[in-house]
């Protein structure tokens, strides 16, 4: 498909999906991202996601992968006018990772209302990385070294599948895969989150966390405190627990457009933050053939 036609098709899907969550979607806001990264979108994972709670009301996240040869999405975003240049060591982190670790893909998280938000770097699923090794990188924020021993004691040291940097919020995420039922059982999670200074989750959230295969702690760039903890699970079932208790999530799962032709693929996430908790749902619109191993089999 010619690139211009492909981008119009993607933009139409963004518009259609934005209406499901009452998010304002304008060509002026979305098209610059398509122009900046459009050459990579023909064979990319394209994912739309929404969330509950005040933070995500009226917003749709338009996420997509780019191959390793595309380079750091932050640099492309600055060059394309999507993001102002940031004066902080964390902006050099992906370059350091690329020099020392295998990179499977990069990804962009773009809000139809908020614009360029986050860039991610993925490690090959068969080669997750060690927190202690990553903590030695000069540009890694201090939180990783502060918490590496704790995660190692829980058996999670060598399970880092991805790192994400949010340039607008000045936060970053560590994506840890391969959680065991012992780690996610309710009594263990309540104790773990309490040690991190986070509130006890609701019964609904505890039930959801017990199904999770991955978690994403969020840290500030210059602090060691865990700001929130997110747990996720992948499924082909649109009626997972969050959809049963949140009408907006159920509508999104039911009506989301897709072109990949396979069975639906959803990632549900539950987040425990300071003073609140909320759910998110990501749904695959398009799946890449080149980085298809990023999509795990549905649980």
Query: Which stretches in the chain have pLDDT values below 70?
Result: 1-2, 4, 290-299
Q: What is the pTM of this model?
A: 0.93
Instruction: Write down the pLDDT at residue 290.
Output: 63
Instruction: Write down the pLDDT at residue 184.
Output: 95
Instruction: Write down the pLDDT at residue 55.
Output: 80
Task: Spell out the residues 6+ positions from residue 153 whose beta carbon is closer than 8 angstroms to its own.
Answer: none
Axis-axis angle for helices 27-37, 3-20 (nearest 10): 140
Query: What SS3 string covers the chain?
Result: CCHHHHHHHHHHHHHHHHHHCCCCCCHHHHHHHHHHHHHHHHHCCEEEEEECCHHHCCCCEEEEEECHHHCCHHHHHHHCCCCCCCCCHHHHHHHHHHHHCCCCEEEEEEECCCEEEEEEEECCCCCCECHHHHCCCCCCCCHHHHHHHHHHHCCCCCCEEEEEEECCCCEEEEEEECCCHHHHCHHHHHHHHHHCCCCCCCHHHHHHHCCCCEEEEEEECCCCCEEEEEEEEEECCCCCHHHHHCHHHHHHHHHCCCCCCCCCCEEEEEEEECCEEEEEEEEEEECCCCCHHHCCCCC
Q: What is the pLDDT of residues 93-124, one digit of tens each?
A: 999 999 999 999 999 999 999 999 999 999 99
């Amino acid at each position: 498909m010619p690139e211009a036609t492909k981008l119009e098709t993607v933009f139409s899907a963004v518009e259609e999906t934005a209406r499901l969550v009452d998010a304002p979607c304008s060509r002026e806001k979305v098209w610059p991202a398509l122009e900046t990264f459009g050459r990579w979108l023909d064979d990319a994972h394209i994912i739309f996601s929404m969330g509950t709670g005040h933070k995500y009301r009226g917003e749709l996240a338009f996420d997509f992968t780019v191959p390793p040869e595309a380079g750091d999405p932050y640099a492309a975003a600055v060059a394309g006018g999507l993001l102002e240049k940031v004066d902080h060591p964390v902006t050099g982190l992906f370059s350091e990772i690329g020099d020392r670790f295998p990179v499977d893909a990069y990804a962009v998280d773009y809000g139809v209302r908020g614009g360029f938000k986050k860039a991610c770097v993925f490690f090959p699923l068969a080669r997750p990385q060690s927190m202690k090794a990553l903590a030695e990188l000069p540009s890694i924020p201090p939180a990783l070294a502060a918490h590496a021993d704790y995660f190692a004691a829980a058996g999670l040291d060598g399970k880092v599948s991805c790192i994400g940097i949010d340039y607008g919020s000045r936060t970053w995420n560590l994506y840890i895969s391969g959680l065991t039922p012992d780690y996610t059982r309710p009594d263990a999670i309540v104790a773990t989150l309490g040690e991190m200074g986070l509130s006890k989750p609701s019964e609904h959230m505890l039930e959801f966390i017990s199904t999770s295969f991955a978690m994403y702690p969020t840290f500030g760039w210059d602090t060691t405190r865990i700001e929130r903890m997110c747990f996720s699970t992948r499924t082909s079932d649109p009626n997972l627990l969050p959809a049963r208790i949140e009408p907006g999530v159920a509508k999104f799962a039911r009506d989301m457009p897709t072109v990949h032709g396979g069975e639906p693929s959803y990632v549900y996430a539950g987040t425990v933050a300071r003073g609140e908790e909320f759910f998110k749902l990501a749904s695959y619109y398009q799946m890449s053939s080149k980085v298809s191993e990023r999509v795990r089999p549905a649980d």
